[in-house]
Each structure stands twice: as C-alpha cells, then as structure tokens.
Structure 1
Amino acid sequence: MTPTRRQFMGHTAGAAMAGALAPLVPLTAWAQAPAIEQVKIFYGFPAGSAGDSVARRVGEKLAGSAYTRNAAVVENRPGAGGRIALESLKGSAMDGSVLTLSPFSCTSIYPHIYSKLSYDPVKDFIPVSIAAVMHHGLAVGPLVPASVKTVKDFLAWAKANPGQANYGSPAAGSTPHFIGALLGLNNGVDLKHVPYRGSIPGVTDVVGGQIASMVTPSGDFIPNHKAGKLRLLATSGSARSPFSPEVATFAEQGFPELTTEEWFGFYAPARTPAQVVAAANAAINAAIKEKSVIDSLAVVGLIAKGSTAAEMAASQQAEFERWGPLVKKVGFTAES
C-alpha cells in the first residue's frame, strides 16, 4: 500500500537514525565481519545511460575495501521505470551482497502515483549512500525549427503546432516526466508525453526527428548537443550545469518551479546489518572521491557526491514531501 505522509516520515526517520548510527561502528567491528566476496549491483535502466556509469565506475572501485574483496558486478534490469531493480532488491539476501542504484524518483515520487506499489520504499530498503547528482534538461531536435532557442520559444512553437508538440522522458512517473508535464500545465500548452525505457532510446528519437523534444538527465544530451544534433534549451539545477554552462537554467528563463537536482543513491535490503551498511557507505564514499571516478561521471554530466546513510534518508523524505502536491497537480497516476 502507498505509505501515508505520517508513515513515510516515521519510517524514514527510523532509517535515518539507523544510518546515523552506522558510521559510528568502529573499524574493528568491520574487521570481525569478513569482506564480502562478490557484490552485485542492480540498475533499473539500460546500459549506456548516465546512471549506469555510476553503477559501473563505483562498482569497480569497491574492490579491496573492507566491504568487498572484488569489483562489483552490475546487472541492468530495465523496465517499469526502474521498479524492477528495486523489486529484485526486495527479495535479495540481507547480507550486503546485493545493492540497487536508483534515482530518487523510484522511492520518493512513485509512492504518490502507484496505489499498489510492489515495494515499500522505507520498510523494504535501507539507504546506503548518495553517489551522484544530476541536472535534468529539455532538448529539442530537428523536428523543431532552428529559430527555437529558449524555453519560451519552444512553448510558443508547441502552442502553434499542437500535432507535433510532444516530449519524451525516460519513464512514466519519473522526475523528467513531471518536469515536462508541469511545464505544459503551468503555461497552458498541451505537451503530449512519450515515455521510454530509459534515456538513450528517447534521445535517439529526438536526434532522428521522431519526437520534438525530451526531458531527461542533461548528461545524456551532451554528446549530441556538442555535435549540433540537438539543442539543449534549459537545465534544472539551481545553478547552470558545469557541463553545459552556456545553457541557461529553467529558473533563469522564468520557470523557477522546475528547479530540481536529482540524485542516484545506493540501497540495501531491509535488515542488512548496520555494520555492513557502514562498510558499504565508507567504500562508496571513498570510490566517488577518486579522480578517475569524478572524471568519468563528468563525461556523462554527473557530479560525484556522497552522503551518510542518514543524509540520504532525510533527502528521500524531503523529496517525498515536495513531489506529493506536484504529482497531485499534474493528476497522473499509474492507472491514468
């Protein structure tokens, strides 16, 4: 069942408390629990996407840590907007040998849109650590005239061309889906949503002129943006993306309500021992401080950023609170 506001806050506070205590476990306690031989990371979107880079680059660097002896194996389990990977985690061993990397939309937004979500984001999982932050972007392709250079230009074109006014997103119910929906709703423009299974297929269709535009992590646009195959019109951060500083934010262009910075975070199954969560947290945070990881994530438009388990739990709760009324405003549910 979808958690109520009070249940969500209560359960998340408990998770945050557990996460806050986990880093206090002394190194000697980790030594008493042998490092895991092999860790598996589920990721709910296709290989080649920005988040997939996080799973693989961080997974490689976990080897030889107090958490695991070997590099983690990444398994892509795309579909259902990332839910399949979390469903797989729910039934996994609770010994730290399996993690899932997920954007916050799967745990903070989905409870508002699925009346019968197959997992409880708080009861079934333990936040381990945030690993990277992304800005979303709005980009248009050759279906939209070259004279369209700003968000306001795009809205004017969409209003004048209702038959072609659409936008893709990496999944129905994802943060990019709601950014596009709010953009249209708040400005009286009927933007038809085209959901994809991940960013890459949608970006390919934008470049090929099959759809007009797409909202997705801006890093997935960068290669084609730099090559002139599509035009990135805006990004969603509170400041301009360091990877496309020439592109103004939504807020700069008069749409501050679309400001959002989404994170990818690692989750473990519920009841994973606190000392194992602490070891995983330390290994992940060490990995994302390495220059090679920072640089490789930058290539796909991601900012490496870690956290404590408590900070991740608190952020998950804050996003849950923020997106509830926005989802209600859009009026989207899994049944709609």
Structure 2
Amino acid sequence: MQTRRNFIQTSAALAAATAGLAPFSAFAQALEQVKILYGFPAGSSGDICARRVGDRLGGTAYAKNNAIVDTKAGAGGRIALEGLKMAAADGSVLAMTPFSCMSLYPHIYKKLAYDPFKDFVPVGTASVMHHGLAVGPLVPGSVKNVQDFLAWAKANPKDASYGSPAAGSTPHFIGALLGMNNNVELKHVPYRGSVPGVTDVVGGQLAAMVTPHGDFIPNHKAGKLRILATSGKQRSPFVPEVATFAEQGFADLTVEEWFGFYAPAKTPAAVIAAANAAINAAIKDKSVIDSLTVVGLIPFGGSAEDMARSQKIEFDRWGPLIKKIGFTAES
C-alpha cells in the first residue's frame, strides 16, 4: 500500500486513473439497477463505505439508479462472496470486501467455496483503513500504550483476551502476532463484525479489540474506550494523538487494508471500466469523503489493475505469517 503522502495526493491520482480509462463505447447502455453485496453487519465502517459509494453510482455511464446494498453478514464475509460467484457476469451485482477475504482466506480454508483469483475480477478500491488496538474499562486506566497492555495481559492471564470482527480476519492475525511475537498469551474472541465486539469492550465484558479503528473513534473521543495503537505507516489523521504500532516498536504490525469492489469472472471489460470510473468519481464527492472521514476511512481509488496487483502482494505477504500463527479453519 502507499504512504500517507500518497493518500494526501488521492484526488490527483484518481483524476489520472479516471482519465486513463478506455472509452465506454462497448458499454452502450447503463444498467438499470446495481446491487452491492457486503459481508459484514450494517453500521460498520465498511457498510457505510458501500452505501455512500453506492449512493453515487446512479446517473453515470455505469448505472441509471443508485445502487442497493444487500448486507449478507456472516462467515467472515464469505457469504457475500459466494453470492457474487453465482451472480450474472453483467455488472449488475458487485461485492465490496476487505482484502482479507481475498488475500488471507486462501491460506486459511482448505475448502474455500470460491477462488479469489479465478471466480472474480477486481473493479476498483474505494477506501483504506488502519486497524487499531483498543481497550475498555476492564483494563486499568494506567494502561496507555501497547507495552503497558502486554504487561497487564501477562499479569492478568484470566482477562487477557481480545476480540476481532471475524476469525481469520486481518485484525485477528494482528492480535495473534502481537501476542506470539512478545511471548504473551492473548485469547482470541471472534465476533460477527466490529459493532458487537466494540459494544462488549465498552461494556467491560471484553478487555480489548483489534478492528478497523474507525469503529472505535466515537467511543474513543467520548472516553468510553482507549485506542492504544493504529496500524498505518503513519499516524491516523482521525486520531493523530495515537501512536502507530511501528512508533511503539511493533513495525511487524504495520497494515493498511483496503475495501475493494469485485465483479463475477467474465464480466465484460467495458462494464468493469464503467464501474471503475463511477467508483472513482464517487469517492471524490465531498459528501462521500465526509461520510468516510466520520468512520475513519481514507478515500483511495485507482485502476482495476492496481487493485489486482495489491491483492497478489497481500496474498504473498500473509501466507507465511498465517502459517507461523498456525491458524486454519479447523483450528
């Protein structure tokens, strides 16, 4: 992924990417209606991203009407992608997903119901998220950073647990690597999305959680939980007071995950180009940017080819790490 400096130049990069797209002459008529499948609960940062982008797809060369978001929560996002695999390859159905479902899951599930590289075609990225580690009232206020948390966890093994939005998700593995690489046993508690886990942290039922940090921000600012670290290469522009994992000596936990749109394999190239242009235009809209900012997402577009390359890079990076952790779907 690119650096924070590149994020600041997003608008220019999006304009260049859009200008370089092929003409839409082969895609003569915009689709009447587009459906976006999203595999995690409503109200999460990704759900908001899918809805705000979907609201701007209507009236473009791609679609006549705004897209409808169909939430298919469960199985760590796999249900939505299994639905996309079965959809018509005409651009009428897309799925938006974090890269974990495409780049990590092949290393986890021996019988994954879809092949990320054969069953789908990348359309374009929409936003980038930094993950965060946060603690709630179960952890004493004296715990102010990652080292403090590790020391507390070692001294309180009974309560030393962390949640994630799904087993096998990127946040799950960030927490696993944090414990493993520092000889601290941290029990993983998987949830169905970020919202229920954050609720348990705020309520004092769970010590900590690793999830997209945007899902922590309202409670962090209200003093109901404390974000101890974020996973970006640079500090989050939304909580600049919080040091990154790398700044605190945990550079191995630097992760910048994107949300990207996919279409079924064999979707015509002209349709992909039209959808990509519409998504890139949507994330330049001020109302979309403002909505993403509220949930801690950074608009981030580009070409379908850029997205495909990033998917492969993350696939290659996480394979050895997941093997080191020793997690499989049967774990």
Q: TM-score, normalised by structure 2?
A: 0.94
Q: Classify the secondary structure of the residue corresponding to 2:248.
A: coil
Partner of residue 26 from structure 2, selected from 29, 45, 48: 29
Unaligned ranges ≥5, structure 1:
1-19
1:153 matched to 2:153? The reply is: no
Separation in structure 2 between the aligned mates of residue 25 and residue 317 of structure 1, nearest angstrom: 24
1:332 matched to 2:303? The reply is: no
Could you list the per-position Cα deviations for residues 205-225 of structure 1 after superposition, in whole angstroms to 9, with x for gaps in the alignment? 000011100000000000000
Could you list the per-position Cα deviations for residues 79-129 of structure 1 after superposition, in whole angstroms to 9, with x for gaps in the alignment? 000000000000001100000000000000000010110000010000000
Q: Does the aligned pair in 1 maintain the 2:98–2:259 contact within 8 Å?
A: yes
Partner of residue 115 from structure 2, selected from 98, 104, 120: 120
Deviation at 1:249, TM superposition (A): 0.2
1:313 matched to 2:308? The reply is: yes
Partner of residue 51 from structure 2, selected from 34, 43, 56: 56
Superposed, 1:172-321 pairs within 5 Å as 172-321=167-316
Could you list the per-position Cα deviations for residues 280-300 of structure 1 after superposition, in whole angstroms to 9, with x for gaps in the alignment? 000000000111111110000
Separation in structure 1 between the aligned mates of residue 108 and residue 54 of structure 2, nearest angstrom: 31
Separation in structure 1 between the aligned mates of residue 21 and residue 31 of structure 2, nearest angstrom: 20
Separation in structure 2 between the aligned mates of residue 26 and residue 246 of structure 1, nearest angstrom: 45
Equivalent position of 2:35 in the other structure: 40
One-letter code of the match for 1:156? A
Could you list the per-position Cα deviations for residues 19-74 of structure 1 after superposition, in whole angstroms to 9, with x for gaps in the alignment? x9xx65323333x2x10000000000000000001100000000100000000000
Q: Does the aligned pair in 1 maintain the 2:21–2:277 contact within 8 Å?
A: no
Partner of residue 138 from structure 2, selected from 143, 146, 159: 143
Q: Classify the secondary structure of the residue corresponding to 2:292.
A: helix
Q: Classify the secondary structure of the residue corresponding to 1:252.
A: helix
1:83 matched to 2:98? The reply is: no
1:323 matched to 2:315? The reply is: no
Q: Does the aligned pair in 1 maintain the 2:124–2:302 contact within 8 Å?
A: yes
Separation in structure 2 between the aligned mates of residue 35 and residue 212 of structure 1, nearest angstrom: 49
Separation in structure 2 between the aligned mates of residue 170 and residue 29 of structure 1, nearest angstrom: 41
Separation in structure 2 between the aligned mates of residue 121 and residue 70 of structure 1, nearest angstrom: 28
Equivalent position of 2:162 in the other structure: 167
Equivalent position of 1:93 in the other structure: 88
Q: CA RMSD in A?
A: 1.1
Equivalent position of 1:4 in the other structure: none
Could you list the per-position Cα deviations for residues 176-201 of structure 1 after superposition, in whole angstroms to 9, with x for gaps in the alignment? 00000000000000000000000000
Runs of 4+ in 1 over 6 A off after TM superposition: none
Deviation at 1:307, TM superposition (A): 1.3
Q: How many residues align?
A: 314
One-letter code of the match for 2:164? S
Q: Classify the secondary structure of the residue corresponding to 1:27.
A: coil
Could you list the per-position Cα deviations for residues 157-192 of structure 1 after superposition, in whole angstroms to 9, with x for gaps in the alignment? 000000000000000000000000000000000000
One-letter code of the match for 1:86? L
Deviation at 1:335, TM superposition (A): 0.5
Q: Does the aligned pair in 1 maintain the 2:60–2:278 contact within 8 Å?
A: yes
One-letter code of the match for 2:23? P
Separation in structure 1 between the aligned mates of residue 58 and residue 295 of structure 2, nearest angstrom: 23
Q: Does the aligned pair in 1 maintain the 2:24–2:273 contact within 8 Å?
A: no
Separation in structure 2 between the aligned mates of residue 130 and residue 282 of structure 1, nearest angstrom: 11
Q: Does the aligned pair in 1 maintain the 2:131–2:231 contact within 8 Å?
A: yes
Taking only the aligned residue pairs, the percentage that are identical comes to 75
